[in-house]
Structure formats: structure tokens, C-alpha cells
């Protein structure tokens, strides 16, 4: 069994915050692959289902972000899941908005949810890093992360969530590169339509076109000498 974890904060007031994009991703996967309804367990909400023939447990910790590891650790202990079979979806300010990167291991880069998971199970799990962009000023990071997505973000966000769910079979099968490629292809802006080439002049003149200077056979003289 694989454990898919979405990170976020519980409660409707946080539902559309950038920090909750992990919750959004797991919700999209659960809907797309027709998992059983969420139920309360392991200090979180869990739903079970199958993706590409793989049994999957989806988990949204309800402990608030900085205690996410407690919920993850409890689910892993119950099902005897190893760290390499855990995939965590989380927001990433060091990636441009809409960019996706999958990696295994590494540091938590100050992300409180990842820090908590590290403390419980170590670093050897996979992460799906979901870019939310950086506000450009370190003093604005907290407000950016704990603020809602803007109206301008909605179009790419919905495309991203749909693509994360649609191609989840690649992720659960371990094809991280294929997963990133498919998702990126689905959300890239459409190319502008190429201008149509100018029509080339026809080599042959229309049948009814007469060369300059030719007079119809029945033309009447226009002057004294017919000139």
C-alpha cells in the first residue's frame, strides 16, 4: 500500500490558502479515482482506493501543519508502511507558480509540515513539490503562503489539480519523470495560432482574363481610323 499525504491546515477559513494546495491535490486525486469517502482516523481524514492497480491510502492530517508528522506516523504504523512508500504533496515557495517537481529525500527547507514529518519518519520519502511562487520579499512570505490564491491564479490552479489527478498512475508506479512531464504538458499555456501564409498568385490567368491590349473580336472602332 502507498500513502499519499496532502499537507494543509484544517478548517474552511484555510481551504483556499496557498499553504493548502497539498490538501487540494489529494482531494482531486480522490475524486478522479473514485476513492471511498473520507473518514476520520489517525488524527486526520483518510480515504482508500486504487490507482493503476495499486492500493492507496490518501491522508489529510487535521493536526495543523506543524504537527502533520503525528498523523502520518500513526497511519504508517497501523498499515506497516515504509517511508519509501509515502508520497507527500506540499506547497513550495522556491518554485514558480504552477511548476511541479518530484523528489525523494533531502531537507525540509523550513517547511513546518515537512519538518514535522522528518521528525517522525526521517527524510526518505517522496515529495511532490507544488510551486506557489515567492512574493519577492522575505517579509511578505508568511502573508503570501497563508493567503488565498488570487483570481488570476484560478485558471492554472484548476488545470494543475486536474493534471495531478489524471496522471497519478505514473506517480504511484514510480515514473516520477513521466509524471512531471505529463503534468507540465497539460498546464502549459496554449501556443498562439501561427499566421496563415499569404496565398500564392496562380500561375495561370483566369480563363476570362484577356491580355492587355487585346480587343474582343466584335469591338467597334472608337475613332476615324479604328484606333
Written as tens digits, the pLDDT of the chain (227 aa) is 999 999 999 999 999 999 999 999 999 999 999 999 999 999 999 999 999 999 999 999 999 999 999 999 999 999 999 999 999 999 999 999 999 999 999 999 889 999 999 999 999 999 999 999 999 999 999 999 999 999 999 999 999 999 999 999 999 999 999 999 999 999 987 676 667 666 565 555 555 555 555 554 454 444 444 33
For this structure, is 111 an active site residue? no
Instruction: Look at residues 106, 168, 105, 96 and name the one whose alpha carbon lies nearest to residue 134.
Output: 96
Helices then strands (H, E): number in the chain?
7, 7
* pLDDT score for 188: 85
Q: Where are the domains of the chain?
A: 2-187
Catalytic one of 19, 33, 90, 111: 19
Integer Cα distance of 220 and 55 in angstroms? 94
Beta-carbon neighbour count of residue 142 at 10 Å? 11
Q: pTM (2 decimals)?
A: 0.83
* pLDDT score for 9: 97
* pLDDT score for 55: 98
Cell of 189: 499555456
Residue 130, strand partner residues: 91, 100
β-strands 100-104, 44-51: how paired? unpaired
Residue 189: HSE in the Cβ half-sphere, 13 Å Cα cutoff? 5
* pLDDT score for 193: 66
CA 185 to each of CA 160, 164, 181, 221: distance values in angstroms, whole numbers, following the listed order: 10, 11, 6, 72
User: Any idea which fold 2-187 has?
Assistant: Rossmann fold (3.40.50)
Amino acid at each position: 500500500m502507498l500513502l499519499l499525504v496532502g499537507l494543509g491546515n484544517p478548517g474552511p477559513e484555510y481551504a483556499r490558502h496557498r499553504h493548502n494546495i497539498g490538501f487540494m491535490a489529494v482531494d482531486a486525486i480522490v475524486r478522479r479515482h473514485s476513492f471511498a469517502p473520507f473518514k476520520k482516523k489517525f488524527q486526520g481524514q483518510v480515504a482508500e482506493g486504487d490507482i493503476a492497480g495499486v492500493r492507496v491510502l490518501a491522508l489529510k492530517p487535521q493536526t495543523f501543519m506543524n504537527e502533520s508528522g503525528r498523523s502520518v506516523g500513526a497511519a504508517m504504523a497501523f498499515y506497516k508502511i515504509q517511508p519509501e512508500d509515502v508520497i507527500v504533496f506540499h506547497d513550495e515557495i522556491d518554485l514558480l507558480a504552477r511548476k511541479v517537481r518530484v523528489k525523494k529525500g533531502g531537507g525540509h527547507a523550513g517547511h513546518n509540515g515537512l519538518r514535522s514529518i522528518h521528525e517522525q519518519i526521517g527524510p526518505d520519502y517522496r515529495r511532490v513539490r507544488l510551486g506557489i511562487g515567492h512574493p519577492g520579499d522575505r517579509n511578505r512570505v508568511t502573508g503570501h503562503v497563508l493567503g488565498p490564491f488570487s483570481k488570476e491564479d484560478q485558471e492554472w490552479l484548476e488545470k494543475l489539480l486536474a493534471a495531478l489527478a489524471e496522471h497519478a498512475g505514473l506517480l504511484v508506479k514510480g515514473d516520477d519523470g513521466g509524471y512531471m512531464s505529463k503534468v507540465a504538458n497539460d498546464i502549459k499555456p496554449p501556443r498562439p495560432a501561427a499566421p496563415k501564409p499569404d496565398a500564392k498568385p496562380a500561375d495561370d490567368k483566369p480563363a476570362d482574363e484577356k491580355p492587355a491590349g487585346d480587343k474582343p473580336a466584335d469591338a467597334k472602332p472608337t475613332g476615324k481610323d479604328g484606333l
